[in-house]
Amino acid sequence: MRNSLTVACWEIKQLINKSYLFSLLLTPALILLFMLGPELLGRLTAEQAIRHLYVVDELGVYQDLERELQGSNLTLQLYTGERANLENKVRENKEAAYVVLSPLSLTTRQVVVNTGAEGIPDLSALKAALRRVLQRHELQGYGLPPEAAANLEKGYSIQAVSLVDAADVSPMRRTVQGVFAGLMYFVVTTTGMLIMQSAITEKRDRLAEVLLSSVSAGTLMRGKILGCLIPGALQGLVWTGSAALFAYFYFDQPVWQYLLEPRLALLLFFLLAGYLFFAAVFISLGATMDDPMQASNLQGLVIMIPYLPILFIGPVIADPNGLLARVGSYFPLTTSGVMSARLVFAEQVIIMDIVLAAALLLATSAITIWIAGKIFQVGFLLYGKEATPREIIRWLRS
């Protein structure tokens, strides 16, 4: 065990370098940039949008449209002159536009906004206002009073509420815990792939003989699995903290209260056990490869194993304690992801399912680590070719 810890410390020093720390801090910043960037760019675009709209009104809806756009940056003007003069006036002003509202618009269901800008400015607010005004005008043409037309515009909000869920459960709880579980599961799978890449790099650089001359293959493998766990946990902690700070300062949502629950310990347990399973699979896979770009089809399918729980997400959301959700909990390749999802979406998970799934996942992880050790012992010193399934079976029998 002491040698495994030594290998783990060495692995941590190899992984946690300047580039890792830079990417660790830069990745949340880039995610926030991609989330907030469109809004910021939208504000800049709004400053360059059209400001003056000429309306040729043949339907008598000008005042209604003016009320709809009240408070916006758009200035409306009713135009009754020649159409050719209007086109020349708009063409000479990139901040101007004109629209013709005629009975033909109701027949063709089309309205054209002619602008003087070279591109297509943001007209989302104007389009929404025109849509409401024309729909209201059409409904009134059928003899409906304005109040009835306004009610029809609102539509209906239909929600599904489970009578089984506790009445005091916050609707934000599932959202926050679901984002946390998805984020942590992503960290688990990417960290497993990081171990595979580390094994391939050391094998390619011919470090395998040097490392195995000091420690056994099993010790080296266990040390690498343990060593990659620390950078993965640090990554998950930084990402979770960044998301929580963003939710607090941008949405005024203190999300920590939804994470500090007893079920969080169970969630972390299944994620950690899943990490051990995936790490063993990926490190054994890395030991059989010289280059991930030259991986065989079978090896490519193995890389897709962590994403199998996606197949059960729909059934888990619909019925967290249903038959398909329980089957996914007992299937070792999907246990970690499915049980994490069930702990998020179910008000109460069946105790027997938790116990059996945990025991099955731990047993499967132990067996997988043992198998991975056998493959790693031989495959890590194999150069020049990739191991075939028949050769891997022969290694396990030896």
Q: What is the pLDDT of residues 170-225, one digit of tens each?
A: 667 778 888 888 888 888 888 877 777 777 777 776 666 677 667 777 777 778 78
Query: In terms of domains, do 389 and 241 share one?
Result: yes
**Closest among 137, 33, 51, 34 to 94, alpha carbons compared:** 51
User: Above 50 in pLDDT, residue 47?
Assistant: no
Residue 147 inside a domain? The answer is yes
Strands 75-78 and 113-115, by their bridges, are unpaired
Q: Nearest 5°: CA angle at 315, between 329 and 361?
A: 10
Give a yes or no: residue 41 inside a domain. Answer: no
Q: What are the pLDDT digits (tens) for 298-356?
A: 556 667 788 888 888 888 888 888 899 899 999 888 999 999 889 888 888 888 889 99
Q: Which two tokens stand for residue 197?
A: 């890449």
Q: What is the pLDDT of residue 359?
A: 93
Instruction: Indicate whether 110 pLDDT > 50.
Output: yes
Q: Which of 117-121, 122-126, 268-272 has the highest mean pLDDT?
A: 268-272
More confident residue, 264 or 39: 264
Distances from the Cα of 251 to the Cα of 243, 255, 383, angstroms: 11, 10, 54
Query: Which of 93, 125, 154 is the last residue before a domain boundary?
Result: 154
Q: Of the spans 123-127, 258-262, 336-340, which averages the highest pLDDT?
A: 336-340
* 3-state SS, residue 55: strand
Q: 377, 19, 1, 397: which is closest to 199 by C-alpha?
A: 377
Local confidence band at 35 (pLDDT 50, 70, 90 cut-offs) = low
Residue 332's pLDDT is what? 86
126 shares its domain with 187: no
Does the pLDDT at position 43 exceed 60? Answer: no
Please give the pLDDT value at position 14: 67
Indicate whether 122 pLDDT > 90.
no
* Pick from 111, 124, 125: nearest CA to 59: 111
Ranked by mean pLDDT, the top range of 252-261, 366-375, 380-389 is 366-375
- CA-closest candidate to residue 353, choices 379, 325, 380, 381: 325
Report pLDDT for 227: 80
User: Do 143 and 180 belong together in one domain?
Assistant: no
The CATH number of the domain where 147 resides is what? 3.40.190.10
pLDDT band at 382 (very low <50, low <70, confident <90, very high): low
Q: What pLDDT score was predicted for residue 360?
A: 92
Instruction: Indicate whether 330 and 185 sit together in one domain.
Output: yes
Predicted pLDDT of residue 293 = 58
Look at residues 103, 132, 154 and tell me which one is the last residue of a structural domain.
154
The answer to whether position 8 is within a domain reads: no
State mean pLDDT over 230-240.
82
pLDDT of residue 167: 47
Judgement on whether residues 286 and 328 belong to the same structural domain of the protein: yes
Question: Residue 42's pLDDT is what?
Answer: 57
User: Which H or E element spans position 242?
Assistant: helix 217-251
DSSP string, 170-189: -HHHHHHHHHHHHHHHHHHH
Number of domains in the chain: 2
Is 290 domain-assigned? Answer: yes
Rounded alpha-carbon distances, angstroms, from residue 367 to 250, 342, 361: 46, 25, 10
Give the residue carrying structure tokens 């004109």: 98
Q: Do residue 293 and residue 321 come from a single domain? A: yes
The helix/strand/coil state of 53 is: strand
DSSP state of 52: E
Domain identity same for 85 and 108 = yes
Indicate the SS3 state at residue 226.
helix
Residues 76 and 129: their CA atoms lie apart, in Å, by 13
Q: Tell me: do 226 and 80 sit in the same domain.
A: no
* Residue 374 confidence class, pLDDT cut points 50, 70, 90: confident
Hey, what are 277's tokens?
């399973």
Residue 36 domain-assigned (yes or no): no
Q: Which structural domain range is residue 102 located in? A: 50-154
Q: Does residue 10 form part of some domain?
A: no
| One-character DSSP codes across 119-152 | S----HHHHHHHHHHHHHHHHHHTT--HHHHHHH
User: Taking 60 as the threshold, does the pLDDT of residue 155 lie above it?
Assistant: yes
What is the chain's mean pLDDT, rounded?
78
Q: Give the model's confidence band at 292: pLDDT under 50 very low, under 70 low, under 90 confident, else very high.
A: low
Q: Answer with the residue of higher pLDDT: 344 or 159.
A: 344
Give the residue, 156 or 58, on which the prediction is more confident.
Answer: 58
Question: Is the distance from CB of 377 to CB of 348 less than 8 angstroms?
Answer: no
pLDDT at 29 exceeding the cut of 50:
yes
Examine residue 202 and state whether it is found in any structural domain, yes or no.
yes
Helices (H), 288-388: 297-303, 313-318, 323-330, 335-345, 351-379
Q: What's the predicted TM-score (pTM) here? A: 0.67
- Domain end marker among 129, 154, 179: 154
CA distance 151 to 138: 14
106 and 239 assigned to the same domain: no
- Cα-based distances in Å from 192 to 189, 260, 282: 5, 26, 6
> Does residue 173 sit in the same domain as residue 144?
no
96/260: higher pLDDT = 96
Q: What are phi and psi of 251, to 5 degrees?
A: -110, 0
Residues 320 and 195 in one domain: yes
First to last CA, the chain: 25
Confidence of residue 81 (pLDDT cuts 50, 70, 90): confident
Q: What local confidence, expressed as pLDDT, does residue 161 receive? A: 62
Question: DSSP per residue over 66-135, as a string?
Answer: HHHTTTSSPEEEE--S-HHHHHHHHHT-TTEEEEEE-HHHHHHT---EEESSSS----HHHHHHHHHHHH
Residue whose tokens read 């195995």: 212
Shared domain check, 276 and 297: yes
Residue 216 belongs to some domain of the structure: yes
